Chain A
Amino acid sequence: MSVNDISKGRRPKRAPLSHSLWPTLKTVLRTLGSVAVTLLGLLFITFIIGRVMPIDPVLSIVGERASQETYDAVYHQLGLDKPLLVQFFYYLWDVLHLDFGTSLLNARPVSEDIARVFPATLELASLGIVFGVVIGVPLGVLAAVRKGSWIDQIARVVALVGYSMPIFWLGLMGLLIFYGILGWVGGPGRVGIFYVDIVPTVTGMILVDSLLDSNIDVFKDAFSHIILPASLLGYYSLAYISRMTRSFMLEQMSAEYITTARVKGMSEWDVIWKHAFKNIRVQLITVIALSYAGLLEGSVLTEIIFSWPGIGSYITTALLSADMNAVLGGTVVVGLIFILLNIFSDLLYKIFDPRAK
């Protein structure tokens, strides 16, 4: 698994940084174009899936008892009697006006829903990735430096166990032990019931909002609720990040310049951090960005087990009740984030990769 499978591998040898504006502009335009095409494709596929799915959106709205008359009225109202492509273009037209439509199931604008559920996921994923990086990177470096030692073996086992554990099972067990029996952490949900709606919503992330409001009680409570699911997600990214760090580091450590540095009598610490690690920073950021993107897609199962009202469970619920506006809106947001993080890491790569220079 080299970075090639993640970034596109299509980059030609880059010319020395040109100061003329045109090439930059061209790159920007091309990037924007490819983002647009990818998003359009994403929307189209989601749209088609939504329409061929045997879950009936009309039935989701009118319920089991509806008469045929009521059913037909809603069918018409949703525009389902129009040809598929026409429906798609109507939808696209609305999206271009930043209107994601109304959720069929809760009668609110989808954009409002996303503004509500996405910060929940953002908060969880961000804390998760922090865990992953803070523990995963040093672990990976250590494993590479002491290759074959017991630290390396432990790091390997920790990572492989992380890859192999069914998260829904681990989540249930964690909840049982740390919440149910020991009472060390808060239970399912984002905050305890007495702390609901106490701090004003600014970012939608309760940890941040409570700090903005300097309400330390709410912060503590929210933290006690997020710590368990975030560490679980963190464990998963930790597994991936530490493994990747290890293999990047190994590649560097066997390079000639390291040997040279050692021969010159540089301290081992400096060799590792000032030379080897410095050279893997860009690759590492790419890995972290992608890992973050993965967490931001919303870990559906974690969200379900921890009653976490995030975007993953939002899209899933919407999907299973054929609430297509909600699914489309959610997918666009998640897809966009994924694409942007990809472009970000690509860009970073292009600018800083020593080989590219």
Chain B
Amino acid sequence: MNVMNRLLCGAALGLAVSVSSVGAWAETPANMLVIANRIDDVTTLDPAESFEFAGADISRNVYNRLVYLDPLDLEAGYKPDLAESWEVSEDGKTITFTMREGVTFQSGNPVRAEDAAFSLQRAVILNKTPAFILSQFGFTPENVEEMIRVEDGKLLITTDKKYATSFILNCLTATIGGIVDKEEVMAHEVDGDMGNTWLKTNTAGSGPYKLDSWKPNESVSMSAYEDYYGGAPEMKRVIVRHVQESASQRLLLERGDIDIARNLNPEDIAGLADNEDIKVVDELKGRLMYLALNGKHPELSKPEVREAFKYLVDYEGMVNSFLNGQYTIHQNFLPATYLGATNENPFSLDLEKAKALLAEAGVDGLEIEVGVREAQERIEIAQSLQNTLGQVGIKLNITVGTAKQILARYRARDLDVYLGAWGPDYPDPQTNAGTFAYNPDNSDEANATGLLAWRTAWYPGDLNEQVEAAVTETDREARIKMYEDMQAEFRETSPFVVMFQQIEQSAMQENVTNFSTGQAVTAAAYWQVTK
């Protein structure tokens, strides 16, 4: 940078163009937080529908849930939020929540058990994409008004069978658990949509921030809700600005125009190392990078070939070069920090072993296609694979497409190899176990496109039962053991080559403290930030 700096400075000064220096050398106001992030994935703000990263960030700060995850103490797990306390019935199927008193929505309406019941019922009835997080407990649009109900000012949730309480409460910390203002929302109902159209672009929450505006692909701006029950946040305004390029984010940060840059690549992070005004905070995220080998492919479905692939990834080489600092080697379906997660990573690049396995399977010379979405790091992973596979005589053709293009083919079981990422939906091991290792009906007709195992055309055998058993196990230690066993088997036999777990590196001004992107379990929180 330095040589370049001097060179460019000289050249530019030489031009001696007189442009007035307006607005430069700025610093953000003390009670305002300005964040650069990619927010082009936000498609809706309705908590019953929202299911993307940047959308979850908004939701987390605008809506309260029954239970929440404290950004300053994420290890503690769920804590009381709008529900002050809860009791589990003897049969383990009903949880009774006592609501916190005196909390008001941003509209001024009081927060009641009716609002909570309405919000959860609404999510099940609307049946949008994230609805499965609730409906897996046996709720259907038909029965939900009985299963989730209000009695004596308390909220009762009854599940179809007994589940681990932690499993249920963990699910309620997800975006879909956001409690909306029933009066406000129903006042905007159109054609029986339960306010869905209105809530897509408006909010009706009780959280620490009010949404001022959301301009798609441009910015999200929020201001503090002064009557927030947890105390008004210190940052009175939060602006999240959409900046696509890492280089642009870094320039904005270095110029002091923003407080936090969330999408810097490893090179730009390294370039900031000498800057004393800026610090970098690492958080382990839940996102896993993996390969899926299609079970419909005659060669890729052979157990030896699957195993060979696990020895054909240059794990070390990649995390030490272009993924440096932003991914760590992880070869299991539960991300580190999750209940039951394990650090067993037995595979490393071993061409000889892979060759032997391929020979054993009778594979000699193979040409396959990998589908990857156009994100630079993934394209580079694909090229690294292309390189190592080429050394054992496997020709890998890379098809790059938009996220939706590639995904559509993956869901149609049409790709030989899929290279992609998976992030957990809620902070419970079931979120990944139930998709990587669970696929009760592998037939084409089942069309279980929501399950990764189905998309990969893999029948997980007895893992199916293990996954089902684990969600009803209430003993914590026993449950951990079950997940560890599942993952041990999964590592050896599955057609998934789990490679890396993401580390999010947020670069921020030295004076910003307590910022949290939510680690592996939840979304970003702003109310505890000071500077």
Contact = CB atoms under 8 A, between A and B. Distances in A.
Q: Would A and B touch once assembled, by the CB under 8 A criterion?
A: yes
Interface of A: 54-56, 59-71, 73, 103-108, 113, 116, 172, 175-189, 192-194, 196-197, 220-221, 223-225, 227, 304-305, 307, 309, 313-314, 317, 320-322
A63 B52 contact: yes
B247 A66 contact: no
A313 B217 CA distance: 10
27 contacts: A55-B404, A59-B404, A59-B408, A60-B404, A63-B51, A63-B52, A65-B132, A65-B425, A70-B129, A106-B44, A106-B200, A106-B216, A107-B44, A116-B215, A178-B12, A180-B255, A183-B255, A184-B20, A184-B24, A187-B252, A188-B248, A188-B252, A224-B22, A304-B244, A307-B242, A314-B217, A322-B404
Interface string B1-40: 0000100110111000101111111101100101000001
Interface in B228-254: 239, 241-245, 247-248, 251-252, 254
Contacts of A106: 42-44, 200-201, 216
Contact of B129 (A56, A66, A116): A66
Contacts of A184: 17, 19-21, 24
Contacts of B24: 179, 183-186, 224
Given A304-B244, A314-B217, 12 more contacts: A55-B404, A55-B408, A65-B425, A70-B129, A107-B197, A187-B248, A193-B28, A194-B26, A194-B29, A304-B245, A307-B243, A309-B218
A163 B8 CA distance: 23
Interface residues of B, number: 68
A56 B401 CA distance: 12
A185 B275 CA distance: 22
B450 interface: yes
Interface string B183-214: 00000000000000100110000000000110
Contact of A65 (B29, B51, B258): B51
A54 to B, nearest CB: 5
B62 interface: no
A65 B218 contact: no
A96 B26 CA distance: 48
A107 B200 contact: yes
A196 B215 CA distance: 11
Contacts of B19: 178, 184-185, 227
B19 to A, nearest CB: 4
A184 B25 CA distance: 10
Nearest to B34: A193
Contact of B247 (A56, A104, A176, A321): A176
Nearest to A116: B215
Nearest to A309: B218
Interface string B92-115: 000000000000000000000000
B221 interface: yes
A305 B402 contact: no
A246 B401 CA distance: 44
B448 interface: yes
> 9 tightest CB-CB pairs across the interface, nearest first?
A107-B200, A183-B24, A106-B216, A224-B22, A184-B19, A180-B251, A66-B129, A221-B23, A188-B248
Contacts of B405: 54-55
A320 B373 CA distance: 12
Contacts of B242: 307
